[in-house]
Chains A and B, each alone.
Chain A
Amino acid sequence: MSLLEAFGDGFARRALLEAVMVGGLCGAVGVHVLLRRLPFFTMALGHATFPGVVLAGLVGISLFAGAAAFGAVVVVVVALLGARDRVDDTSAVGVTLSGAFALGVLLLSAQAGFSRDLTAYLVGSIVTVRPGDLVTTAVVGAATLAVLAALHKELVLGAFDRGGLAALGYPVLALDVVLLLVVEATVVTSIPAVGTILAVALVVAPAATARLWTERLRATMALAAALGAASGVVGLAISLQWRVAAGATIVLVAAALFAVSLVVAPRHGLLASLR
């Protein structure tokens, strides 16, 4: 299989660019998602943007805008529900996830002619990515990474020691919301490439893999971004070569990297712990 041959066409080059950008962005953001134990929340965000996409399709505005607006609503609902003492965070996320997704299905079933776009939304369709999507990904990605870089110190401290952050006079709640919005922007941006269900894989898997190889946080983020981008490129090449679903193949490559690392990683791998 020749990598360069597979990427000869215009659509394939666009897909390649999208895969590299989305993979890199998800990898870097994923480190924060793991530090704060947010994988389930990320999963819920992916599902919960669904009614926003359906509504945007009905009204005729950008699907991105619809997804982003509904994602923001979900951030607020989860925060409010989780604050009640008898509803734990996990159940709050579970209720929000299924409720929002069902709302999307309900809106969808009330009108015909939308279902052909649905699969692309759920599992991604990176080979049909348009130049406009590439620009959106680049802009959102750059903004997201700029926020992460500017607030790196505060966000990391918040993940490890919320009390310390508050004692130093930082607005803890505002920083939490910023991070959740960063995760939301990342998920919404990855939807054209890998779809809502699998976006969480690109966020979690490269970051979890990187954590097995290095202890230092900045190195983990750089490695996770590189692993995410590499998963995108290799997965795309395999899917173009054997004509299988691209988004799912990218996810499988990311998961395979994780599985191999889990066994062979020098300090935290299973082989190392046997020794």
Chain B
Amino acid sequence: MNLLQPFTIPYMQRALVEVLVLGALAGAVGVLVVLRRLAFVGDALTHTVFPGVVIAHLLGRSLLLGALAFGVLTAVLLTTLGGHRRVGDDAALAILLTSFFSVGVVLISRTRGFTADLTVFLFGRVLAVDRADLLQTLAVAAVAAVVLLLLHKELVLRAFDPEATAAMGYRTGALDLVLNLLIALVVVAAVEAVGTVLVIALMVVPAAAARLLADRVAAMTALACLLGAAGGWLGLAVSYEVSVDHGVRLAAGATIVVVLVGLFLLAAALAPLRRRVVTR
């Protein structure tokens, strides 16, 4: 299989840049998601930006702005609603996720072409990414990367020791909001191009794999970025190769996810070996 030849075609080049940027960004944020056990929050955010996308679509505005507005709204709601003692975080999340998503479905069910729109939102269209999409993704990714670089130390501290973080004078509530906003930014940057299912996979799978193989957060983060980007590259190449040369159409986004899960399983198989080498 040729890893370079498919990327001589312009639309494949754009798709490659898109998944490399998103893979690396989602990997870095994903480590925090996995350490804080926030996979469900990530999943929730991929669904709650949907009404924003629909409203922006109906009004003829930028889909990115619609998604951004609802992403920020969800991040704020999640941070503030989290603490009700009788409801529980996960129940609140499930209800928020499904009701926001339902608002989107109800709104879009009034328009024509309902089925096609919903499918694109869920599964993306990474091969149809144009220059404007790419620039939007890069801009949002740059903002998220800067925030992550500036606050990484504090966010990691908050993940391991909330009491110490509070005692040192940091506001843990504000840090939680920052992390939720970061997850929202990743989702927003990615959702139009690659679809919700791929976003959650890019965020959780490489980070979970990196956690199996690395002990230090810095190593984990580097590995997760690498795995996310590599999975994106490999997935695109496999999908192109099989679709063009063998005549079996494989959706690009889904192929990337399956490759990522394959890398995760490989990491799970290698982890015991590695531990034996390290402890010896």
Contact A252 B261 (CB under 8 A): no
Contact A244 B106 (CB under 8 A): yes
Determine if A229 is an interface residue (Cβ-Cβ < 8 Å).
no
Contact B204 A198 (CB under 8 A): no
Instruction: Specify which chain A residues have a CB less than 8 angstroms from the CB of B115 in the assembled complex.
Output: 115-116, 118-119
Instruction: Specify which chain B residues have a CB less than 8 angstroms from the CB of A208 in the assembled complex.
Output: 87-88, 91-92, 95
Q: Per-position contact with B for A196-225: 1 when CB-CB < 8 Å, else 0?
A: 011011001101100110000000000000
In the complex formed, the residue of A with least CB distance to B200 is: A98
| Candidates A40, A212, A248; contact of B90 at CB < 8 Å | A40
Report the bound CA distance from A236 to B118 in whole Å.
21
| Candidates B102, B207, B248; contact of A251 at CB < 8 Å | B102
In the complex formed, the residue of B with least CB distance to A107 is: B254
Determine if B268 is an interface residue (Cβ-Cβ < 8 Å).
yes
Contact B261 A211 (CB under 8 A): no
Contacting chain B: which of A14-22, A55-63, A89-97, A185-193?
A89-97
B240 CB, min distance to chain A CBs, angstroms: 13
Also in contact, A204 and B91, with CB within 8 A (given A86-B271, A95-B264, A97-B200):
yes
Determine if A249 is an interface residue (Cβ-Cβ < 8 Å).
yes
Determine if B197 is an interface residue (Cβ-Cβ < 8 Å).
yes
B53 CB, min distance to chain A CBs, angstroms: 15
Interface residues of A toward B: which range? 35 or more
Instruction: Specify which chain A residues have a CB less than 8 angstroms from the CB of B122 in the assembled complex.
Output: 122
Also in contact, A94 and B200, with CB within 8 A (given A37-B90, A262-B84, A268-B86):
yes
In the complex formed, the residue of A with least CB distance to B108 is: A245
Determine if B28 is an interface residue (Cβ-Cβ < 8 Å).
no
Report the bound CA distance from A37 to B40 in whole Å.
12
Report the bound CA distance from A88 to B201 in whole Å.
16
Contact A255 B197 (CB under 8 A): no
Contact B47 A197 (CB under 8 A): yes
Determine if B42 is an interface residue (Cβ-Cβ < 8 Å).
yes
Contact A94 B87 (CB under 8 A): no
Report the bound CA distance from A94 to B212 in whole Å.
15
Which residues, 261 to 280 on B, are CB-close (under 8 Å) to A?
Answer: 261, 264, 268, 271
Contact A94 B43 (CB under 8 A): yes
In the complex formed, the residue of A with least CB distance to B96 is: A255
| Candidates A47, A90, A204; contact of B39 at CB < 8 Å | A90
Determine if A181 is an interface residue (Cβ-Cβ < 8 Å).
no
Contact B94 A94 (CB under 8 A): no
Which residues, 259 to 275 on A, are CB-close (under 8 Å) to B?
Answer: 262, 268
Determine if A109 is an interface residue (Cβ-Cβ < 8 Å).
yes
Q: Per-position contact with B for A78-89: 1 when CB-CB < 8 Å, else 0?
A: 000100101111
Also in contact, A248 and B105, with CB within 8 A (given A110-B249, A268-B86):
yes
Instruction: Specify which chain B residues have a CB less than 8 angstroms from the CB of A106 in the assembled complex.
Output: 250-251, 254-255, 258
Instruction: Specify which chain B residues have a CB less than 8 angstroms from the CB of A108 in the assembled complex.
Output: 251
Determine if B14 is an interface residue (Cβ-Cβ < 8 Å).
no
Also in contact, A211 and B123, with CB within 8 A (given A86-B271, A91-B208):
no
Also in contact, A98 and B257, with CB within 8 A (given A86-B211, A244-B110):
yes
Determine if B109 is an interface residue (Cβ-Cβ < 8 Å).
yes
Instruction: Specify which chain A residues have a CB less than 8 angstroms from the CB of B264 in the assembled complex.
Output: 95, 99
Also in contact, A109 and B251, with CB within 8 A (given A40-B39, A95-B204, A116-B115):
yes
Instruction: Specify which chain A residues have a CB less than 8 angstroms from the CB of B126 in the assembled complex.
Output: none
Instruction: Specify which chain B residues have a CB less than 8 angstroms from the CB of A258 in the assembled complex.
Output: 95
In the complex formed, the residue of B with least CB distance to A118 is: B119
Report the bound CA distance from A249 to B109 in whole Å.
11
Determine if A43 is an interface residue (Cβ-Cβ < 8 Å).
yes
Contact A200 B261 (CB under 8 A): no
Also in contact, A99 and B257, with CB within 8 A (given A37-B88, A39-B90, A106-B250):
yes
Closest 9 CB pairs of A and B: A102-B257, A201-B98, A94-B39, A255-B99, A109-B251, A98-B201, A245-B109, A105-B254, A248-B102
Contacts A39-B93, A198-B105, A208-B95 known; list 12 others, CB within 8 Å: A87-B268, A97-B200, A101-B257, A102-B257, A105-B254, A106-B254, A109-B251, A118-B119, A205-B98, A252-B106, A255-B102, A258-B95
